[in-house]
Amino acid sequence: MVEPVTSSASTATTATSASKTDAKKATLDYDNFLKLLITQMKNQDPTDPMDPSQQVAQLATFSQVEQSIKMNTNLESLISASSLSNASSYIGKTITSADGKTSGIVKSVEVTSEGLTANTTTGATIAIGQGIKISQTAA
């Protein structure tokens, strides 16, 4: 017999770990959950059936997790688009690293999972983060 999930703490853990993975890589999708729920109903003890309200609560909880995964995916897309928009605004401007040791005119900007990195016309690479200085390049 498959035991029902009733702990909201385990659901929160599932939501947190699932949000760290891409929605396409989720190990349990909505269809799989419904199959599991049907199997659980078929194999339950007839003398002690599962409470229907628990089934509805499980379904609602899973639906919330699924929506959180979709929302996180959409948020990541929005952040990525914002980074690309910001990246283009740095090209042609003078950038100085946070420590002041590296400076140059931005030739290109790379967007990676760690953030933005500016490549200068002299070949230097500067991580775009707190403390950098961006200024208009003198003509």
77-128 per-position pLDDT tens digit? 888 788 777 778 888 999 998 898 898 999 998 887 777 889 999 999 998 8
Residue 26 has a pLDDT of: 54
Token representation of residue 12: 């929160």
- Decide if 103 is inside a domain: yes
**Could you tell me if 103 and 64 lie in one domain?**
no
Q: Give Cα separations from 43 to 38, 40, 46, 48, 100 (angstroms).
A: 9, 5, 9, 11, 68
Q: Which residue has the tokens 């990525």?
A: 80
Domain carrying residue 17: 8-86
The residue from 55, 71, 86 where one domain ends is 86
Count of domains for the chain: 2
Residue 116 has a pLDDT of: 83
What pTM did the predictor assign?
Answer: 0.44
Alpha carbon distance 105, 92 (integer Å): 6
Computed from CA positions of residues 68, 57, 5, 1, in that sequence, does the dihedral angle turn out positive or negative? negative
Asked if the model's pLDDT at residue 46 lies above 80, the reply is no
118 CB-contact burial (10 Å; exposed 0-12 / middle 13-18 / buried 19+): buried
Q: Which residue has the tokens 């490549």?
A: 119
**Could you tell me if 17 and 82 lie in one domain?**
yes
- Decide if 3 is inside a domain: no
Measured in degrees and rounded to the nearest 5, phi and psi for residue 112 equal -125, 180
- Decide if 97 is inside a domain: yes
**Could you tell me if 81 and 106 lie in one domain?**
no
**Could you tell me if 111 and 79 lie in one domain?**
no
**Could you tell me if 122 and 82 lie in one domain?**
no
